[in-house]
């Protein structure tokens, strides 16, 4: 098992995944964020190359044909994908020991099929009523968009069994403590730390 952590963070829209992702990256600088490709337009304050690689549909479909994505899916009418090159670049960076993926259940299923060691975390809202309230709190989105996202959220929650951990985001601070604990526990798994024990044993045998 590689000591490079592949961590999926997924949730229905409005459950607080984006905030938790930022908190996690601030706390663990050795984790890097997987910048996905997408065909949707940038939102306010989003930057190309930092939040997403913004491309048109033709370019995205060319990358699909070339086999450039570890996973890809269509969500809310837009295409999203995680490039294999993004992961390989992260593995080669000094001081980086893991990658965080912000993807939906479709992408999570595809990545797990190709990388079984991936760790999946699904963020749940405390209730469907609270989720709808949070979605409506985004004043920039129309009623049609709110309703579509709410329906999609129900479908996404139905696929919770694809993930290893479930966190209810009722209070943000508590949810983050659970997420932080998962990262610390996964970094200490036997398969990821076995080489350290073996190094000690080899040193003992050689008298070091």
Judge whether 59 lies within some domain.
no
Residue 61 phi/psi, 5° resolution?
-65, -30
Judge whether 84 lies within some domain.
no
Give the pLDDT band (50/70/90) at residue 208.
low
- Write the pLDDT tens digit of every residue in 10-24: 999 889 898 999 999
Q: Which of 126, 104, 92, 87 is nearest to 10 (CA)?
A: 104
Judge whether 56 lies within some domain.
no
pTM for the structure as a whole: 0.83
Judge whether 127 lies within some domain.
yes
Judge whether 150 lies within some domain.
yes
Provide the residue range defining the domain that includes 175: 5-34+97-205
The H-or-E segment that residue 98 falls in is strand 98-102
- Write the pLDDT tens digit of every residue in 80-110: 999 999 889 898 898 899 999 988 898 899 9
Is pLDDT above 90 for 139?
no
Report the pLDDT value the prediction gives residue 189, as an integer from 0 to 100.
Answer: 80
| Number of domains into which the chain is organized | 1
Judge whether 159 lies within some domain.
yes
- In terms of phi and psi (left: phi > 0; alpha: psi -120 to 50; beta: otherwise), the region of 172 is alpha
The H-or-E segment that residue 109 falls in is helix 105-114
Report the pLDDT value the prediction gives residue 55, as an integer from 0 to 100.
Answer: 97
Helix (H, G, I), strand (E, B) or coil at 9: strand
Judge whether 124 lies within some domain.
yes
Judge whether 60 lies within some domain.
no
The domain that holds 156 is classified in CATH as: 3.40.50.300
Is pLDDT above 70 for 206?
no
């Amino acid at each position: 098992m590689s000591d490079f952590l592949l961590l999926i963070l997924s949730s229905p829209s409005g459950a607080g995944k984006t905030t938790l992702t930022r908190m996690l990256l601030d706390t663990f600088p050795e984790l890097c964020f997987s910048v996905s490709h997408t065909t949707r337009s940038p939102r306010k304050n989003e930057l190309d190359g930092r939040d997403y690689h913004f491309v048109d549909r033709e370019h995205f479909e060319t990358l699909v044909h070339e086999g450039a994505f570890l996973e890809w899916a269509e969500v809310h009418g837009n295409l999203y994908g995680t490039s294999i090159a993004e992961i390989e670049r992260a593995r080669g960076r000094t001081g980086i020991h893991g990658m965080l993926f912000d993807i939906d259940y479709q992408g999570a299923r595809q990545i797990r099929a190709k990388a079984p060691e991936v760790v999946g975390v699904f963020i749940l809202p405390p209730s469907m009523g609270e989720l709808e309230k949070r979605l409506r709190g985004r004043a920039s989105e129309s009623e049609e968009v709110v309703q579509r996202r709410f329906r999609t959220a129900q479908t996404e929650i139905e696929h919770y069994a694809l993930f290893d951990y479930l966190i209810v985001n009722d209070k943000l601070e508590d949810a983050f403590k659970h997420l932080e604990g998962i990262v610390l526990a996964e970094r200490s798994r036997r398969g990821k730390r076995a080489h350290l024990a073996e190094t000690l044993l080899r040193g003992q045998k050689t008298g070091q």
